[in-house]
Structure 1
Amino acid sequence: MKRSMRLWWVLAIAACRTGGAPAPGHAEHAEAAEHAKAAEHGEHAEHGEHAGHDEHEGGEEEHAEGVVQLAPAALERSGVEVAQATAGALAGAIEVPAEVRLNPDRVAHISPLVSGQLLRVEVAVGDPVEPEQALATLRSVELGQARAELSRAGSLLGAAATNLSRQKRLRAEGINSERSLLEARLAWAQADAERDAARSRLLVFGVEGGSGPDLTLTSPIAGVVLDRHATRGENVTPDDTLFVVADLTGVWVIGQVYEQHVGLVTRGMAATLTLNAYPGRTWTGVVDYVGASLDESTRALPVRVELDNPDGVLRPGLFGALRLSSSPEGAATVTLVPDTAVQSVERRTVVFVPGAEPGQFVARPVTVGRSGHGQVEVLEGLAPGESVVTRGAFILVSELMRAELGHHDH
Structure 2
Amino acid sequence: MHEPVKLVVRDNRKLRRAGLIGIAVAVVVVGAGMTTRLFAKQELKNWTAEQAMPTVSVLRPSVDGAQRPLSLPASVEAWSQAPVYARTNGYLKAWYADIGTPVKAGQILAEIDTPDVDQQVAASTANLATAVAQLKLAETTAQRWGKLVAQDAVSKQDAEEKQSDLAVRRAMANAAQADVDRLRTLQSFRRIIAPFDGVVTSRSTDVGALIVSGTAAARPLFTVADTKKMRVYVHVPQNFSADIKPGVTATLVLPEYPDRTFHATLLNTSESVNDTSGSMLVQLEVDNSDGMLKPGAYAQVTFSLPNTGSSVLVPASALMFRPQGMTVAVVDSNGRVKLRVIKIARDFGAKVEIASGLSPNDNIVDSPPDALADGDQVHILDSGQTSHANS
TM-score normalised by the chain length of structure 1: 0.50
Q: How much does 1:299 deviate?
A: 8.0
Q: Aligned Cα RMSD in Å?
A: 3.9
Letter matched to residue 101 of structure 1: E
1:286 paired to 2:266: yes
Task: Give the corresponding residue for 2:183.
Answer: 202
Task: Give the corresponding residue for 1:171.
Answer: 145
Task: Give the corresponding residue for 1:234.
Answer: 209
Provide Cα deviations, 1:320-357, integer angstroms capped at 9, x if missing partner. Answer: 432212239xxxxx9x8559xxxxxxxxxxxxxxxxxx
> Secondary structure in 2 aligned to 1:123?
coil
Any unmatched runs of 5+ in structure 2? 1-64, 313-344, 359-391
Task: Give the corresponding residue for 2:301.
Answer: 322
Contact 2:132 2:173 (C-alpha < 8 Å) held by counterparts: no
Letter matched to residue 112 of structure 1: A
1:222 paired to 2:193: no
Using a 3 Å threshold, how does the CA distance of structure 1 residues 312 and 291 change in structure 2: closer, same or farther? Answer: farther
Letter matched to residue 182 of structure 1: Q
Cα distance in structure 1, aligned partners of 2:199 and 2:357: 59
> Superposed, which structure 2 residues align to 1:4-19 within 5 Å?
none
2:68 aligns with one of 78, 86, 92: 92
Provide Cα deviations, 1:13-52, integer angstroms capped at 9, x if missing partner. Answer: xxxxxxxxxxxxxxxxxxxxxxxxxxxxxxxxxxxxxxxx
Using a 3 Å threshold, how does the CA distance of structure 1 residues 243 and 162 change in structure 2: closer, same or farther? Answer: same
> Superposed, which structure 2 residues align to 1:123-162 within 5 Å?
123-162=97-136
Q: How much does 1:301 deviate?
A: 5.5
Provide Cα deviations, 1:361-410, integer angstroms capped at 9, x if missing partner. Answer: xxxxxxxxx9776488xxxxxxxxxxxxx779xxxxxxxxxxxxxxxxxx
Aligned residues: 246
Cα distance in structure 1, aligned partners of 2:231 and 2:301: 12
Kindly name which structure, 1 or 2, has the bigger radius of gyration based on alpha carbons. Answer: 2
Q: How much does 1:220 deviate?
A: 1.6
Q: How much does 1:91 deviate?
A: 4.8
Contact 2:88 2:186 (C-alpha < 8 Å) held by counterparts: no
Contact 1:149 1:198 (C-alpha < 8 Å) held by counterparts: no
1:304 aligns with one of 263, 283, 291: 283
Cα distance in structure 1, aligned partners of 2:206 and 2:126: 34
Contact 2:88 2:190 (C-alpha < 8 Å) held by counterparts: no
Aligned-pair identity in percent equals 20
Provide Cα deviations, 1:178-200, integer angstroms capped at 9, x if missing partner. Answer: 15632541342341353255147
Using a 3 Å threshold, how does the CA distance of structure 1 residues 93 and 290 change in structure 2: closer, same or farther? Answer: farther
Using a 3 Å threshold, how does the CA distance of structure 1 residues 284 and 209 change in structure 2: closer, same or farther? Answer: closer
Contact 1:273 1:320 (C-alpha < 8 Å) held by counterparts: yes
Contact 1:277 1:318 (C-alpha < 8 Å) held by counterparts: no
Cα distance in structure 2, aligned partners of 1:281 and 1:374: 25
Q: In proportion to residue count, which structure has more strand? A: 2
Cα distance in structure 2, aligned partners of 1:216 and 1:294: 42
> Secondary structure in 2 aligned to 1:247?
strand
Contact 2:98 2:203 (C-alpha < 8 Å) held by counterparts: yes
TM-score normalised by the chain length of structure 2: 0.52
Task: Give the corresponding residue for 2:31.
Answer: none
> Secondary structure in 2 aligned to 1:321?
strand
Cα distance in structure 2, aligned partners of 1:165 and 1:186: 9
